[in-house]
């Protein structure tokens, strides 16, 4: 194989923060977000909060598509993992300049991963009305359209429909050799490996553990605050005002570090 591009899929939560933030830029590209259920520009905080959520969500795995140089190029995710009924949903996107064959190679490898490694029997996906190229693309990989749900979501103030596509493991096993043959030329351009070990997913860094513990304790602090405001507002409010004043003091000191408003 000549000029084969090495492509790695690594779980989002295993990446460093810089790479995680690079994914936000891709997700915010016009030609990506217009095909997503939520298409607003995602802020840093929202993005990091989502990644934080992923750490404890065992119903989804979000992979980042990495070049040989470990530059993020897109995302492939499996969601709504249902171990009882052995089914899941999936979706993916790529930055504009990484497209052209890579999508097909990822689709082939990811379907194999979902059936062989994750042990699912059925894979579903949803494609927003108007994204005909992607419906066509999925059908090439043996997905069948189960239905089209009209006026199902709200986008830019307009109600639009959603295509529901599905693929069973049996259909995949029966047809994948043909697909491999048909796309041989495309698949030879990319060598895709998916880095995933179930046990690794659960080991979190001490910083993540502190973050999670703080989030839990924040609930307790807010309960104390709520109690104080309800039971003794006259005493509690001046203390809250003092907290706010000191917060402003901290904010001014932080400005000195970042160079803002100096």
Applying CB under 6 A, the site for ligand COA has a residue count of: 19
**CA distances to 137, 204, 209 from 212, in Å:** 40, 10, 5
Selected from 125, 135, 167, 192, the binder of ligand COA by CB under 6 A is 125
The first and second tokens of residue 28, run together, are 């915010």
Q: How far is the CB of 35 from ligand COA (least distance, A)?
A: 4
Is 123 one of the binding residues for ligand COA (CB under 6 A)? no
Q: What are phi and psi of 123, to 5 degrees?
A: -125, 130
Is 127 one of the binding residues for ligand COA (CB under 6 A)? yes
Stretch that binds ligand COA, among 81-89, 128-136, 234-242, 243-251 (CB under 6 A): 128-136
Q: Cα(195)–Cα(107) distance, rounded to whole angstroms?
A: 16
Q: Among residue numbers 133 through 172, which ones bind ligand COA (CB under 6 A)?
A: 133-134, 137
**CA distances to 41, 167, 184 from 114, in Å:** 30, 11, 21
Task: Check residue 28 and give left, alpha or beta (phi > 0: left; psi -120 to 50: alpha).
Answer: alpha
**CB-based contacts of 42: which residues, under 8 Å, 6+ apart?**
24, 27, 28
Q: How far is the CB of 134 from ligand COA (least distance, A)?
A: 4
Letters for 76-115 (x = contact with ligand COA by CB under 6 A, - = none) are ---------------xxxx----xxxxxx-----------
Q: Which residues bind ligand COA (CB under 6 A)?
A: 31-32, 35, 91-94, 99-104, 125, 127, 131, 133-134, 137
């Amino acid at each position: 194989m000549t000029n084969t591009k090495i492509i790695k899929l690594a779980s989002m939560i295993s990446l460093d923060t810089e790479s995680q933030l690079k994914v936000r830029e891709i997700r915010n590209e016009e030609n990506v977000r217009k095909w997503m259920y939520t298409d607003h520009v995602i802020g840093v905080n929202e993005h990091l909060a989502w990644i934080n959520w992923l750490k404890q969500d065992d119903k989804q795995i979000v992979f980042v598509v990495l070049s040989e140089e470990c530059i993020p190029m897109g995302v492939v995710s499996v969601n709504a993992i249902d171990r009882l009924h052995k089914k899941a949903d999936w979706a993916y996107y790529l930055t504009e300049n990484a497209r052209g064959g890579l999508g097909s190679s990822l689709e082939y490898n990811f379907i194999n991963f979902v059936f062989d490694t994750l042990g699912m029997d059925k894979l579903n996906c949803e494609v927003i009305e108007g994204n005909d190229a992607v419906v066509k693309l999925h059908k090439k990989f043996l997905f069948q359209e189960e239905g089209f749900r009209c006026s199902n979501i709200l986008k830019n103030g307009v109600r639009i429909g959603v295509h529901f596509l599905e693929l069973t493991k049996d259909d995949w096993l029966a047809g994948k050799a043909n697909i491999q043959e048909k796309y041989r030329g495309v698949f030879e351009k990319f060598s895709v490996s998916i880095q995933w070990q179930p046990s690794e997913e659960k080991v979190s860094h001490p910083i993540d553990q502190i973050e999670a513990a703080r989030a839990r304790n924040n609930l307790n602090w807010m309960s104390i605050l709520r109690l104080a405001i309800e039971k003794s507002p006259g005493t509690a409010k001046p203390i809250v005002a003092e907290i706010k004043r000191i917060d402003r003091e901290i904010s001014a000191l932080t400005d000195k570090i970042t160079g803002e408003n100096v």
